[in-house]
Amino acid sequence: MIILISTVLGPVKKEDLGVTLFHEHIVVNLFSADDQEKNYSTEEVVKYILPYLIEAKDKGCQTIVEATPLGLGRDLEVLVECSKKSGINIITCTGAWDGSNVRGKNVPKAIRESTIEEITAVWTKEFEEGIDDTGIKPGYIKLALGDEGEIFPLQEKLLRAAARTSKKTGKVIQCHIWEAFSLPKAVQIIEEEQLPYDRFIWVHADGQMDIEKILEFGKKGIWVEFDGIGAVEDFTKYPPAIRKLQEEKLLSQLLFGQDSGSYWIKEDEEEWPLRPYARFFKEFVPYCVKEGIDEELITKIITENSKRALSLSQNH
């Protein structure tokens, strides 16, 4: 059976995903979702981003899971051009971002004011027919919630809609939760929605590196994503955590990303440097190998695990 994965350039065989980084950004717009205008050209973004993508490609990266939903700056035209010019598969998402303390700022009004059923219908249609009139289909659902230590009503609505969309489409939910204290409530909600655990990825599990919660909920069956690699000063917390997951036979549920990028659009003029996409290969992997982590193990995580997470709809 041939299993196809949606990218911005169309479907590809899952075997062709290759080395996959599971959480990266190309354009991020921090203005309110209802005030976002494209005050940049596709050409200038591609010119800025492309050298970093090519550097990652030269280091072996074949696929990037681009983690920017509508309301946070998702720009399909930019993603298409970046994919064409770099030769990297780029997978986009549906969903909504309500992380940090923005309280709905980056969730479009149409979504904020819709019911769970209405949101589910919109997101499901994107998987079935494509986003707007582009024909581009997302590969997964992206959410962000719980960063203030609780899950607010809007965030719960979004999570329930994501769970119902996942049940209809089989697509995995990539859920940003920086505050580990909020994870049990999020998992309780997906349990109430009777969503299989393996349809849920805990994004930023390495943020606080709460190893007790990582093990507890990993044993339930959720995916654990270590994706702060692009921003951390050093990698010292990673080898012990990887070894612990290995001891507990949970490495098959680990994903890697960097939260790297991007072309930033924001209200203040402070310059935020781009976090290079190649850091994983140039710095993280050599460090882990030096600390005794088998490079083949890392390769398996960024190929086999990523492929499995993205092809769940055909596996169930």
Looking at the structure of the chain, the number of domains it has is: 1
Which residue range forms the structural domain that includes residue 84?
A: 4-315
- Give residue 54's pLDDT: 98
Q: List, for residues 129-180, the tens digit of each pLDDT value.
A: 999 999 999 999 999 999 999 999 999 999 999 999 999 999 999 999 999 9
Higher pLDDT, 266 or 56: 56
- Give residue 268's pLDDT: 84
Interatomic CA distance for residues 225 and 46, integer angstroms: 27
Q: List, for residues 183-222, the tens digit of each pLDDT value.
A: 999 999 999 999 999 999 999 999 999 999 999 999 999 9
Residue range 63-72: mean pLDDT, rounded: 98
Residue range 224-253: mean pLDDT, rounded: 98
Residue range 306-315: mean pLDDT, rounded: 81
* CATH number for the domain harbouring residue 104: 3.20.20.140
